[in-house]
């Protein structure tokens, strides 16, 4: 049996594998001292070393650009802290909580909005006592219908531990949905074993899995097989992606990504606008560009392939859909009388049509 290549965790190891040039080592040592680095063998195998702008490398290989923090960037860009009543819980909306079980991931994404909180050595690991307190919080808040396991990546836990946590949550009467956000099927697909799938299925609550991928090449054969294990077991999958400059900010790549999700029984769910995490400006696009891409996507792929383009409002104010609007109020009164009483609706070709403001 051949053993799997180890995850690359230092700039030295990235140089040794030819993934970065030796000249960049001093800058990358500084980046790695602040933000965790991990590139699994599955991800490393997807990188085209001959392409200096490889879209997979841009997501995972550290860059000296990360040393530049722009005005407005923030260590807690979506305001987790201000909505955290107890360690490990973020309670932003009435009917759901985030439950941050672990602070480690199979890979460390260079655009991560929790980059100041995840990685080895970060002080956020949940103790046994912290876990029990968080569970008590969920138990005592009867309005919590959905628990979203996030982190870090919850699928870094062993199937045994995951099974215990799933059972603890499903035993709470009012918790009906357990949603797991993960990079594992893409970044370390072999972790999705029959044991893990069994641990995720639990009596008393429905499990959903949100798979994070940003480029169609990330849905490799092994990633597809890992996703199939989950869906074949009856676990519904949704996608989450981040709109990233030089990775997926063109219509053809986004289209291929969304089609690949649907072909693999993953319903496109969220396309996040890049958060204002420190040192990530080189990976962000503008909202105007994101809206233009969404308009193009609407004309090119079926409704099944449409994600919702969302912005997490800085400061912890939650998500807002920021896709283009196709409906606008009647135009100014100088227009003809009929138009003044009708909405303007834009079709996928950009042509304007009218619809009555009142039912007949
Ligand atoms: S897997 Fe998720 S939490 Fe972990 S580094 Fe990537 S984006 Fe951040």
Query: Tens of pLDDT along 147-180?
Result: 999 989 999 999 999 999 999 999 999 999 999 9
pLDDT band at 358, cuts 50/70/90? confident
Residue nearest to atom 7 of ligand 1 (CA): 112
Residue 330 has pLDDT above 80, yes or no: no
Residue 339 has pLDDT above 70, yes or no: no
- Give catalytic residue positions: 92-93, 96, 105, 109, 112, 114, 275, 312, 319
Residue 120 has pLDDT above 60, yes or no: yes
Top mutation candidate among 56, 152, 215, 218 for ligand 1, by most atoms within 8 Å of CB: 152
Tell me the mean pLDDT in the region 130-155.
Answer: 97
**Degrees, nearest 5: CA angle 272-212-109:** 80
Q: For residue 112, report the distance from its CA to the centre of ligand 1, in Å.
A: 5
Kindly tell me the number of DSSP H helices and DSSP E strands found in the chain.
11, 12
Give the whole-angstrom CA distance, residue 251 versus residue 297: 7
Give the whole-angstrom CA distance, residue 80 versus residue 82: 6
* Residue 176 exposed, middle or buried by CB count within 10 Å (0-12, 13-18, 19+): middle
Q: For residue 101, report the distance from its CA to the centre of ligand 1, in Å.
A: 13
pLDDT of residue 337: 66
Residue nearest to atom 6 of ligand 1 (CA): 109
Give the whole-angstrom CA distance, residue 215 versus residue 272: 14
pLDDT of residue 341: 79
Give the whole-angstrom CA distance, residue 329 versus residue 335: 13
Instruction: Show the ligand 1 pocket: residues with CB < 6 angstroms.
Output: 105, 108-109, 112, 114, 118, 151-153, 183
Q: What is the rounded (10 degree) CA torsion for 234, 161, 211, 290? A: 140
Q: For residue 199, report the distance from its CA to the centre of ligand 1, in Å.
A: 22
Top mutation candidate among 37, 40, 101, 183 for ligand 1, by most atoms within 8 Å of CB: 183
**pTM of the predicted model as reported, rounded to 2 decimal places:** 0.95
pLDDT of residue 4: 76
Contact criterion met (CB below 8 Å) for 106 and 38: yes
Residue 303 to residues 215, 219, 236, 255, 268: CA-CA distances in angstroms? 19, 21, 18, 12, 10
Cβ neighbours of residue 40 closer than 8 Å, sequence gap 6 or more: 7, 106, 107, 187, 188
CB atoms near residue 331 (< 10 Å): 15
pLDDT of residue 161: 97
pLDDT digits (tens, 9 = 90+) for 77-106: 988 888 999 999 999 999 999 999 999 999
pLDDT of residue 79: 86
Q: For residue 153, report the distance from its CA to the centre of ligand 1, in Å.
A: 7
pLDDT of residue 331: 64
Residue 333 has pLDDT above 70, yes or no: no
Residue 331 to residues 325, 338, 340, 342, 350: CA-CA distances in angstroms? 15, 10, 6, 8, 17
């Amino acid at each position: 049996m051949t053993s799997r290549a180890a995850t690359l965790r230092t700039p030295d190891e990235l140089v040794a594998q030819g993934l970065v040039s030796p000249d960049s080592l001093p800058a990358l040592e500084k980046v790695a001292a602040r933000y965790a680095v991990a590139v699994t063998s599955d991800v490393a195998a997807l990188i085209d070393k001959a392409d200096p702008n490889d879209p997979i490398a841009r997501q995972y290989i550290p860059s000296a650009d990360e040393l530049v923090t722009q005005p407005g960037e923030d260590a807690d860009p979506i305001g987790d802290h201000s909505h955290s009543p107890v360690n490990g819980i973020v309670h932003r909306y009435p009917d759901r909580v985030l439950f941050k079980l672990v602070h480690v991931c199979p890979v460390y994404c260079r655009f991560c909005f929790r980059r100041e909180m995840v990685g080895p050595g970060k002080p956020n690991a949940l103790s046994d006592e912290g876990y029990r307190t968080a569970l008590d919080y969920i138990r005592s808040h009867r309005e919590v219908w959905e628990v979203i396991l996030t982190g870090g990546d919850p699928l870094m836990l062993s199937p045994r531990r995951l099974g215990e946590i799933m059972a603890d949550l499903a035993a709470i009467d009012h918790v009906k949905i357990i949603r797991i956000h993960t990079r594992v099927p893409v970044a370390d697909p072999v972790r999705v074993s029959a044991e893990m799938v069994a641990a995720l299925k639990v009596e008393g609550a429905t499990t959903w899995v949100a798979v994070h991928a940003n480029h169609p090449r990330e849905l490799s054969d092994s990633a597809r097989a890992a996703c199939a294990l989950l869906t074949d077991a009856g676990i519904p999958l949704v996608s989450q992606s981040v709109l990233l400059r030089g990775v997926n900010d063109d219509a053809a790549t986004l289209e291929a990504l969304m089609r690949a999700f649907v072909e693999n029984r993953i319903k496109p769910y969220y396309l996040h606008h890049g958060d204002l995490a420190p040192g990530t400006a080189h990976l962000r696009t503008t909202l105007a560009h994101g809206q233009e891409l969404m308009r193009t996507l609407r004309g090119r792929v079926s409704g099944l392939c449409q994600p919702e383009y969302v912005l997490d409002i800085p400061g912890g104010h939650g998500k807002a859909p920021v896709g283009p609007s196709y409906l606008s109020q009647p135009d100014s009164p100088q227009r003809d009388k009929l138009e003044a009483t009708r909405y303007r609706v834009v079709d996928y070709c950009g042509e304007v049509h009218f619809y009555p403001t009142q039912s007949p």
